[in-house]
Amino acid sequence: MQALASRSSCVPAAGQSARSGQQAAIVPPCSAAGRGAARPARQQRQRHAAVAAATENAPAGAVVDEALAADLGFDKEFERFKAAAAQGNLVPLYERVMADQLTPVLAYRCLVKEDDREAPSFLFESVTNGTQQGRYSFVGATPELEIVARGQQVHVLDHRKGTRETMQAADPMQVPIDLSAHWRPVRAEGLPAVFTGGWVGYTGYDTVRYVYSGKLPFEEAPQDDRSLADIHLALYNDVVVFDHATKLAFVISWVHLGDYGSVEEAYLAGRRRLAATAAKLTSTNAPPLLNGKVSLSLSQRPRTATSNMTKEEFLAAVDKTKEYIQSGDVFQLVLSQRFERRTFADPFEIYRSLRVVNPSPYMAYLQARGCIIVASSPEILCRVDEQGRVTNRPLAGTRRRGATPEADEQLEKELLADEKECAEHVMLVDLGRNDVGKVSQSGTVRVEKLMEIERYSHVMHISSTVTGQLKPGLTSWDALRAALPAGTVSGAPKVRAMQIIDELEVARRGPYGGGFGLVSFTGGMDMALALRTMVIPTAANDTLYDYSGSKPRREWTVHLQAGAGLVADSVPESEWEETVNKSAALGRAIDLAEQAFVSSDNGAQ
C-alpha cells in the first residue's frame, strides 16, 4: 500500500472548538539538487515513525527535547490542549489522513494482527437501501477497559493499570454508568458529530434478566452450553472514523486528564498514542489481504447446517406456542433455533464475504471475550442522540425483492395488503411506543413514520419509527434497559413471551436477540438488534487444523440463529422453513468465504 499523503493535527480550543494546521516534518526533505523534493506521503510516514519511536519508551511525564517538542506542536497545539483541559477532564486529540487508499477493512487489519483473534476490537460499517454506502465507518482496537458480565459476576479489566477487579452486581449495566460518572468530555470542533470514542460491545438477549430478575431469573433460563458473557463492553480511547463523503479518516485519541500528574504529561501521552496509531495506518508494510475470487453463485442453497433442535422438536414447540396464544398468555411469540456450521474460513474472511452477500445498515465484526460476532443487522435496537432524542424502529413484515422495479412495486403492495403481516407489525409498533414511553418525557412520544417500506439487498420490510425525548436525569443506558429485548425477537407481551421461550428453547440465546453497538463519551448511543448475526466461539477443545494451504487454517464453529414470529394461525411447517431460510442467508457468506479464500489459498481452481 502506498502511504497516505495528507494530514492535519488538531485538538479542541477553548470554548470546545478546534482548528487544524500543518506540522513541520521531523525528517528534513531531500534536496532538489539531489534526489528531488521529498514526497509529502513519505514525510508523513517518517514523522509518524519518528514520533512513535522517540516517545514509545519515554517515562511518564518526561519532557522531550526541544526539537521534538516543537514538532509535536508543543508551543501551539499544547496551548490549545491546555485551554481545552480547563473546560473538562476528557479531551480528544486527532489527525486527519487521506482515506482514498485506506479502507476500513485494511485499517482493521493494520491495527489487529491476523492471528490475534482474542484481542477485543471492532469494525462497524453500514449500507442503506441495499446499495448506498453509509457515510461513516468505525474501527477500534486496544481498549483501555473491559467489562465482562456473566450472571451477577462482573469482571472489570483495566489494561492501562494491569488490574482485574471482580464484583457482584445486580445490574452490570450500572458499572459503565458509575465508571463514567465523573467524565466531562470536551467536544472538538472539526470532528464529525458521530461516535468518536467510548464504549463498544454487546448486551446479550439475557441482559433483560437484570431488569426483570423476579420474573425472569437466570436460574430458569435454558442451559448455557457456551458460557459466553451476557454483557461485554470495552472502552476505546483510540478510534479511527472514516468519512466516506470526504474521503478522510479521523485518527482519534481521547485523553483522560485524571490519569496523569499534569496537563503536560497527559498531552504527551495522548500524542504518543496518536502517533503510534497513525504510524500503523500509514506504514508501507501494511499486512496483505487476500483478494478473494468470487465465482460462486450467491443464489444457490448453502451447505446444510445442523440445528440444536430436531425438526420434530421445533414443530412441537410451535404447536405448544399456539396453545399459549389460544389461552391468552401471549398474542405473538418469536421461537428460534440455533444452527451450526464448521468451516476453515477465518471469521474475518466470513465478515468480508457477508459484506458482499448481505450488505445492511449495521454490519459488524466484533471480537469480544469468548466469541467473535459477525453481523449484518437491518434494525435499530436503541438509538439516543446527544440531545436525548430516543429512537425505536421496529421492522416486521418481509418480502423478497423483485427482479424488476415493477415487480418490486407489486410485492410492496402485496406486503402492505397482508393482514397478518400488518397486524404483527402494528403490535410491534405498540411495543416500541411502550418501550420509548418508559424513559421519555410525557407528551413527547411520537410515531413519526408508520408502515413504510424499506428495501435491502435481498428483501423488503415494513418499517415504522417511534421517537421520544429522554426524561431529565436518565441516560442512554436507561433507554437501552427499556428496549431490551426487542419485541421483534421475543413477542407480546414481552415478559410472558420470554418465560415461554425459556420453556421451549433448548439453549440460551447468548448475543442473538440482544444488541451490539456504540455508546459515545458524549452520551449518544447507537445499538443494533442482533439479528442476522453469526456467533463464533473462540474457546474450543476439539479444534481441527488444515495444513494443506500456504498457512495453517483453524476450523471454526459458527452459530447461526434464526427465529419465526408465531401467531394463532401459524403453520408449523412454514415457521420451521422460515428459520431455515433465514439461517441460509448467513450460510451463503460462509460458502463464499470458503470458495473465495480457503479454496484459493489451497490452490484450488
The catalytic residue among 207, 488, 522, 579 is 488
Residue 244 annotated as catalytic = no
Point out the catalytic residue in the list 461, 481, 509, 553.
461
The DSSP element (H or E) to which 504 belongs, if any, is helix 494-504
* Rounded Cα distance, 257 and 260, in Å: 6
- Rounded Cα distance, 368 and 123, in Å: 12
User: How far is residue 107 from each of residues 364, 368, 554, 600, measured CA to CA in Å?
Assistant: 14, 18, 23, 23
Structure-block grid coordinates of residue 160:
492501562
Instruction: Residue 307: name the closest of 329, 336, 328 by CA.
Output: 336
How many degrees, rounded to 5, is the angle at CA 214 between CA 210 and CA 220? Answer: 85
415 in Cβ contact with 396 (< 8 Å): no
Question: Is 565 one of the annotated active-site residues of the chain?
Answer: yes
What nine digits make up the cell of 122?
471492532
For residue 443 the three cell numbers come to: 407528551
- Give just the sign of the alpha carbon dihedral 318, 320, 326, 332: negative
Residue partners of 600: CB distance under 8 A and separation at least 6: 290, 292, 293
If you write DSSP's letter for every residue of 543-561 in order, what string do you get?
A: --EE-SSSS-EE-EEEEEE
Catalytic residue among 80, 399, 512, 553: 512
Asked whether the beta carbons of 388 and 469 are under 8 A apart, the reply is: yes
Phi, psi values for residue 396, rounded to 5°: -160, 140
Instruction: Give CA angle at 564 (560, 566), nearest 5°.
Output: 155
Question: How far is 384 from 476, CA to CA, in rounded Å?
Answer: 6
Closest CA to 230 of 510, 538, 485: 510
**What is the distance between the alpha carbons of residues 449 and 296, in angstroms, rounded to a whole number?**
39
204 catalytic? Reply is no
Residues 363 and 479: their CA atoms lie apart, in Å, by 22
Cell numbers at 279, concatenated: 504510524
348/354 Cα distance (integer angstroms): 10
Instruction: Mark whether 88 is an active-site residue.
Output: no
Within 104-259, where are the H helices?
104-111, 174-179, 208-211
How far is the C-alpha of 499 from the C-alpha of 298, rounded, in Å?
A: 38
Return the ∠ at Cα 541 (arms to 124 and 153), rounded to 5°: 60
The answer to whether 84 and 78 are in contact (CB under 8 A) is no
Helix or strand run (H / E) with residue 519: strand 515-520
Contact 301, 584 (CB under 8 A): yes
All three cell numbers of 27: 525528517
The catalytic residue among 399, 508, 532, 559 is: 532
Please check whether residue 253 is in contact with residue 92, taking contact to mean a CB–CB distance below 8 angstroms.
yes
Could you say which of 565, 579, 587, 588 is catalytic?
A: 565
Instruction: Give the Cα separation of 172 and 199 in Å (integer).
Output: 14
- Report the distance separating Cα 167 and Cα 308, nearest Å: 33
Tell me if residue 557 is catalytic: no
Q: Which of 532, 516, 203 is nearest to 350 (CA)?
A: 532
Active site members: 461, 488, 512, 532, 565
